[in-house]
Amino acid sequence: MHIHILGICGTFMGGVAAIAKEAGHRVTGCDANVYPPMSDQLRALGIELVEGFDPAQLSLAPDLWVIGNVVSRGNPLMEAILEAGLPYTSGPQWLSEQVLAGRHVLAVAGTHGKTTTASLLAWILEDAGLAPGFLIGGVPSNFPVSARLGQGRHFVIEADEYDTAFFDKRSKFVHYRPRTAILNNLEFDHADIFADLAAIETQFHHLVRIVPRGGRLVVNGAEPALARVLERGCWSEREDFGVDAGWQARDVVEHADTSEFRVTFGAIDQGRCRLPLAGSHNRANAIAAIAAARHAGVSPARAIGALERFAGVKRRMETRGIVGGVTVIDDFAHHPTAIETTIAGLRARIGGDRILAVLEPRSNTMKLGSMKAQLPGSLAGAERVFCYTGGLGWDAGEVLAPLGDRATTAADIDALVADIVAEARPGDRVLVMSNGGFGGIHAKLLAALSRRSAPAAHPA
């Protein structure tokens, strides 16, 4: 079958493309914006990419058009598909019917930590010899790709609550029909499609309703929003983490880049873990992954051993380069809670060295300004803050005023780079946070720092 994917460079749709290619389909696709790491991964797989949504793509004559949720009415190619009466479906629906049917699906849901937790879980199953399939919203360093079909019956998926497509406003995760579901946490997000937190809780309730009786929910027991979700009904086995009666990380020893802790389930000691990630949020992610893997038949002791060999996830505190003693770090954080957690995690690693936080408020929620009031507090742990204001409908300078002269804003990326480089000094960490490509700012920063560090040329 030939499928053509609209919105192929999103992390989810790019994963669908990779899996479809591995399954033997001919895959092509298009998107408006193409940026690494997804564009590099797709090209490496031999998938042909078309820039833009020109109706001329109808001449490709695929058997099925697979539509990403970035596509809306008015998109010229989508309008041509509708006008011609051609067959189309959503990415989650295609995945459900063609890949997930009959498999043991392990879904990782929550506002934060989905990518890291899904990566941890996939690696545990891989290390145990289960050869899982997976679709993750990032590239786990233990694997060369973010998605694969897998040879075993298990499939790990990052279960996003965002809507499925313009013609299907249910959350993506209701298509996945998991047997094991991790519910990591739940906060308000996606202000472009949800009116409030209660609306998101309803979608999580829908997810809980489709987990079979013999399935299992692995739940953050300290989250009030998840407690409200489960008060509406729970028909499956349930194990909590983060609370005394459930899975816990105890006797924690925090290092710059690692955490050591004892894993317990109730009163039973499961072993001591040395996780190559720092921070309480990563310990919670690891505990949830251990619990979910046990439902797939992997013992906690085996899972703990696997986690010691976990290599991380690209764009999660990933060092992009060090020039003149200045370290440029890339991270996917974009929600205020994730921003605060990321800065705190870096602080735990580096102690008193300076953090220069660089933020692109790119998500639809941030562009709408729904959480702008939380930004000063979430960025307060950084010595300096630089915010890109392009595309915002609100005044970032006014919002960040509580930070005083610690905050700088700019509507031009090159100007922002110049401001950052002028401020940066040896020992600083420049922490770049965005859920997009940010105009290639990482490479621009490293190039500008290199020019600054280069010795001045002397006339002959």
CB atoms within 10 A of CB 337: 18
The winner for highest mean pLDDT among 59-68, 104-113, 328-337 is: 59-68
Q: What is the pLDDT of residue 37?
A: 65
Q: Which of 307, 328, 345 is the last residue of a domain?
A: 307
CA atoms of 350 and 345, how far apart (whole Å): 9
Q: How many CA atoms lie within 13 A of 66 on its CB side?
A: 30
Residue 191 has pLDDT above 80, yes or no: no
Q: What Rg value do the Cα atoms of the chain yield, rounded?
A: 22
Q: What is the DSSP letter of 412?
A: S
Q: What is the C-alpha to C-alpha distance for residues 243 and 291, in angstroms, rounded to an integer? A: 13
Residues 204, 109 contacting (CB under 8 angstroms): yes
Identity of residue 45: L
Q: Give, as one character, the DSSP assignment of residue 455.
A: P
Same domain, 156 and 35: no
Residues with Cβ within 8 Å of residue 51, at least 6 apart in sequence: 30, 31, 32, 34
**What residues have CB less than 8 Å from 460, skipping those under 6 apart?**
none
Query: Same structural domain for residues 177 and 278?
Result: yes
Q: Residue 311 has what pLDDT? A: 83
What would the mean pLDDT of 187-208 be, rounded to a whole number? 86
Least Cα distance to 394 among 418, 415, 419, 365 occurs for 365
289 and 149 assigned to the same domain: yes
Q: What is the CATH number of the domain that holds 25?
A: 3.40.50.720
Residue 458 lies in a domain: no
Token digits for 43? 């090209």
119, pLDDT greater than 90: yes
Query: Do 236 and 378 reside in the same domain of the chain?
Result: no
d(CA 279, CA 389): 30
Dihedral (CA of 428, 431, 437, 439) sign: negative
- Report the pLDDT value the prediction gives residue 397, as an integer from 0 to 100: 81
Q: What percent of the chain has pLDDT over 90?
A: 59
| Residue 110: C-alpha distances to residues 26, 138, 159, 189, 285 (Å) | 33, 15, 8, 10, 11
HEC sequence for 16-30: HHHHHHHCCCEEEEE
237: exposed, middle or buried (C-beta count within 10 Å: 0-12, 13-18, 19+)?
middle
Domain stop point among 307, 336, 368: 307
Both 171 and 273 in one domain: the answer is: yes
Higher-scoring residue by pLDDT: 422, 208: 208
- Give CA–CA dist 363/434, Å, rounded: 8
In order, the DSSP letters of 351-407 are TTS-EEEEE---SHHHHHTTTGGGHHHHHTTSSEEEEE-TT-SS-HHHHTGGGGGGE
Q: Is 138 exposed, middle or buried (0-12, 13-18, 19+ CB in 10 A)?
A: buried
453 has a pLDDT exceeding 50: yes
- Is 208 inside a domain boundary? yes
Q: How many percent of the chain have pLDDT more than 70?
A: 94
Q: Are residues 225 and 349 in the same domain?
A: no
Top pLDDT among 298 and 424 is at 298
Polymer length in residues for the chain? 460
Is 137 found in the same domain as 27? no
**pLDDT at residue 449 greater than cutoff 60:** yes
Q: In this predicted model, what pLDDT tens digit does every residue of 331-377 receive, in sequence order?
A: 877 678 778 888 888 887 788 889 999 988 876 666 566 678 888 88
In a domain, 459, yes or no: no
- The pLDDT assigned to 36 comes to 67
Give the mean pLDDT of the chain. 89
3-state secondary structure of 137: coil
Is residue 261 domain-resident?
Answer: yes
Name the residue with higher pLDDT: 59 or 441: 59
- CA atoms of 124 and 132, how far apart (whole Å): 10
* Amino acid 280: pLDDT: 84
- Reported as a pLDDT band with limits 50, 70 and 90, residue 132 is very high
Q: Report which secondary-structure segment, H or E, holds 430.
A: strand 429-433
What's the confidence (pLDDT) of residue 460?
47
Helix axes 224-231, 197-209, angle to 10 degrees: 50
Q: How many domains does the chain have?
A: 3
DSSP 293: H
Residue 460 lies in a domain: no
184, pLDDT greater than 60: yes
> Among residues 307, 334, 365, which one ends one of the domains?
307
Tell me, yes or no, whether 155 and 35 share the same domain: no
Sorting pLDDT into bands at 50, 70 and 90, what band is 455? low
Cα separation, 185 vs 251, in Å, equals 23
Handedness of CA 89, 95, 101, 106 (dihedral sign): negative
pLDDT at 391 over 90: no
Q: Are residues 405 and 360 in the same domain?
A: yes
Measure the CA–CA gap between 69 and 254, rounded to whole angstroms. 40
Full residue range of the structural domain in which residue 338 is found: 318-453
Residues 138 and 84 in one domain: no
pLDDT one-digit tens code per residue, 11-60 = 899 999 999 999 999 999 999 976 666 677 788 889 999 999 999 999 99
d(CA 19, CA 330): 27
Residue 196 and residue 290 share a domain: yes
Cβ atoms of residues 215 and 237 within 8 Å: yes
For residue 122, pLDDT over 70 is answered with yes
Same domain, yes or no: 62 and 112: no
The CATH number linked to 421 is 3.90.190.20
> For residues 105 and 156, what is the distance between their CA atoms, to the nearest angstrom?
6
Q: For residue 97, is it within any domain?
A: no
| Reported confidence tier of residue 395, pLDDT bands at 50, 70, 90 | confident
